[in-house]
Amino acid sequence: MPDADSPPPETADGLLSGVTEIPPVTLANVAVALFALPLFSFLSQSFVEIGPIGELAVQWTVAAAVLGVAVAVEGQSLPDVGFRRPAWIDLGYLLAAAAAALLAFAATDPAIEALGLRVADDAGTMTAGASLGVALAGAVTAGVVEEVLFRGYAIERLLAYTGRPLVAGGIAWGAFTAAHAVVWPVGNLVQIAAVAAVFTAVYVRRRTLAPVVVAHVLVWGMSALGQAYG
């Protein structure tokens, strides 16, 4: 945590002071949380394909490694990185997040078509040629792993040192969007950026992973079912 004598985080000096006080292990772990999966996606797309099951295993491994370092080395508890007990009101946030995410996809379609931006139905979903079971496993994996890495861990650790939810959420949102740029075309990326903004706002507001994880899984699960039966 920032030193007690540091400038208040509300000031520019306080923000800079907080950032410079991030321990190297935390900085490295945040970097892994934000950039390990995009790097893996790039390598798997460009050089070696390990198949959908292998990709799922890698994602879970990265999440477990980040959480392991957070608990064993950084001295954080699981509630410190987003695993907090949800309240009944979070059910409302869950439903609102899922609805807003679906609305974001629908609302951006006309603009994407008007601009002629390329859209791919299965880019980066690991569902091309995969069974429905694997596709649904991918939806669960994306919902849990991405929310743990990009929302829970990253936002909480950045917030601890910057003291600014907007800064912490903005960095995590930008990294999440950039992560998907590796495998998604521009049209899809616009939609993902909008959906990521919804999930980021909900997490920053509630500080529990439950509503964003379930909403994320629901949205991706509906997409997988739509591709299978649509």
| Domain presence at residue 2 | no
- Residue 76, token pair as written in the block: 């954080």
**Distance, first Cα to last Cα, the chain:** 50
Cα–Cα distance for residue pair 210/215, rounded to 1 Å: 8
Q: Are 227 and 135 in contact (CB under 8 A)?
A: yes
Number of structural domains found in the chain:
1
What pLDDT score was predicted for residue 197? Answer: 97
Question: Is the per-residue pLDDT at 72 higher than 70?
Answer: yes
Q: Return the top range by mean pLDDT from 14-28, 99-113, 146-160.
A: 146-160
- Over residues 44-54, the mean pLDDT reads 84
Say how many C-beta atoms besides its own lie within 10 A of residue 199's C-beta.
28
| Domain presence at residue 4 | no
- Residue 169, token pair as written in the block: 């959420």
Question: Is the per-residue pLDDT at 143 higher than 50?
Answer: yes
Question: Is the per-residue pLDDT at 211 higher than 60?
Answer: yes
| Domain presence at residue 65 | yes
Q: Which residues contact 172 (CB under 8 A, 6 or more apart)?
A: 34, 150, 151, 154, 155, 158, 200
What pLDDT score was predicted for residue 124? Answer: 46
Q: Are 31 and 171 in contact (CB under 8 A)?
A: no
Rounded to two decimals, the pTM is: 0.88
Q: Are 185 and 116 in contact (CB under 8 A)?
A: no
| Domain presence at residue 3 | no
185/213: higher pLDDT: 213
- Residue 224, token pair as written in the block: 């997988």
| Domain presence at residue 5 | no
Range of the domain at 67: 12-229
Cα–Cα distance for residue pair 119/20, rounded to 1 Å: 40
| Domain presence at residue 6 | no
Question: Is the per-residue pLDDT at 203 higher than 80?
Answer: yes
Give tens-digit pLDDT for 88-128. Answer: 999 999 999 999 999 998 898 898 988 888 887 655 444 55
